[in-house]
Amino acid sequence: MSIQSTYRKMPVWLATPAVLLASAVVAMTLASLGAAALDLIFGKFHKPGDLGDAILVVFFVAPSIAVLAFVFCFSILLSWHHTTSWRAPTFAFALGAILVWLWAHDWVGLIPFVPGTVAWLISCWLLHRNPSAHHKHVIEA
């Protein structure tokens, strides 16, 4: 029995919180790695420990990466479990945006939400359901 088959047999009420937790862990890990890498790069160009670079990394780059990774990870993992629609990435983006705004609403403008918005739009486009009419309701010529 593989992990994927066990995951697909999991009930929806248990899979959704598991996906939420896994997506949050992946998003925070990628945000931490991205912020550390950018801080290292900024340390090469500026003096190490510059306050402006730290504010840029912590309040703009890390939330941008976190929302982007959270939306994509949540959408992908949930679609691997069961068929999803535009509601899954919309929920993920709304939750991520609310959490980022609550975390640093005095510091954060709209810039950290741009990558998450792009991830949300791409995920909605990839997960949209093709509307199809039932064959009994089709008018034949």
Sign of the C-alpha dihedral, residues 35, 39, 41, 45? positive
**Domain residues of the chain, as ranges?**
3-130
Angle at CA of residue 34, ends 28 and 35, nearest 5°: 90
Question: How far is Cα 79 from Cα 14, in angstroms, rounded to an integer?
Answer: 15
More confident residue, 57 or 1: 57
Q: How confident is the model at residue 129 (pLDDT cuts 50, 70, 90)?
A: low
What pTM, to 2 d.p., does this model score?
0.77
pLDDT digits (tens, 9 = 90+) for 74-107: 888 888 887 777 888 888 888 888 888 787 766 6
Question: How far is Cα 126 from Cα 132, in angstroms, rounded to an integer?
Answer: 17
Phi, then psi, of 42 in degrees rounded to 5: -65, -30
Is residue 98 within 8 A of residue 114, CB to CB? The reply is no
